Structure formats: C-alpha cells, structure tokens
Amino acid sequence: MERVDPARSKQMARVRGRDTKPELVVRRALHAAGMRFRLQVRELPGKPDIVLPSRRLAVFVHGCFWHRHPDPACKLARLPKTRLDFWLPKLDANRQRDIRNESALREAGWTVKTIWECELTNESKLGQFIIDCREAPRAGRRMPKTAGAKRKR
C-alpha cells in the first residue's frame, strides 16, 4: 500500500470541480454582457460548466493542467516531474472523456465552446470568446425541463 503524504492529500482536497476561479471569471463576463445561463446541467453529456439554453450553447471552462491544454506555449499544462506512471493515464483519460462529451453534445445539436484557463489572463481573448457566445444563433426551441428538478433561488 502506498503511503499518503498528508500535505499532498490536503492540497488535492482543495481542488474543486465547480465554482473555480476561471469559471467565475467567465460567468461574470457572460452575465455582464447580458447573457443568462444555467450551471452544470446534469442531463447533458459531460455536465458542461455553463449552458446557454436559448442558444443551445454548452461552454466548458478547462483548467490547462487537468485537461491537457494542447497549446505548446501554455505554461500551465506542464506535466509533473514525478509519478508519471500515475499522471499520464489519468490526464489522458480526462482528455479522451472531454472529446467523447463534446462529440455527444454536437450529435445532440448543441454548439460547444471551450475556453482554457490560460486564455482568461488575456482580456482580448476573453472578450472575443464573449462576443462569439453572444453571436451564437438563437435556438428555435427551448431546452426541455427535467422532471422533478427544483430551481435554486
């Protein structure tokens, strides 16, 4: 059995899957642009971070490390120096899952947009992303309501 380092365990426990800083930056920018959205819609493949039902647009806010940002200039996507036998399969599986989820959403008629954590520091890239979301065509029909779903207020 492998010895668990308490410091590493404490650090990894702080990693969150929702309401991350990059996600909040994108949500604030979309809201400021007058766009309304839903969060982590379970009924959609991959549970997109942000969903704009009126445009049938699913937005993923990917962390460069966890989702293996393919841009070679991205410094946040570097691999750890230790335990590559653990990290490589884990990160590769994350990337393959992302590809499957995006494909399933597109097959279901959704537009999928992804913004990377490192792109959020560049205001022009974030601004262009918001413009692209705003210019996405409106959908003819609304997303079906889920049975028994309660709205948070």
3-state secondary structure of 81: coil
Tokens 């008629």 sit on residue: 109
Identify the CA nearest to 104 among candidates 55, 46, 61, 50.
46
Single out the residue of 97, 105, 9 nearest to residue 50, CA to CA. Answer: 105
What is the arithmetic mean of pLDDT over 34-57?
94
Q: What is the DSSP letter of 142?
A: P
- Answer yes or no: are the C-beta atoms of 148 and 42 closer than 8 Å: no
- Where residue 19 falls among pLDDT bands split at 50, 70, 90? confident
Looking at the chain, the whole-number percentage of residues with pLDDT higher than 90 is 68
- Rounded Cα distance between 63 and 41, Å, is 19
CATH architecture, domain defined by 18-134: 3-Layer(aba) Sandwich (3.40)
Q: What is the pLDDT of residues 50-69, one digit of tens each?
A: 999 999 999 999 999 999 99
Banded pLDDT at 129 (limits 50, 70, 90): very high
The mean pLDDT value of the chain amounts to 87
Asked whether the predicted pLDDT for residue 18 surpasses 90, the reply is: no
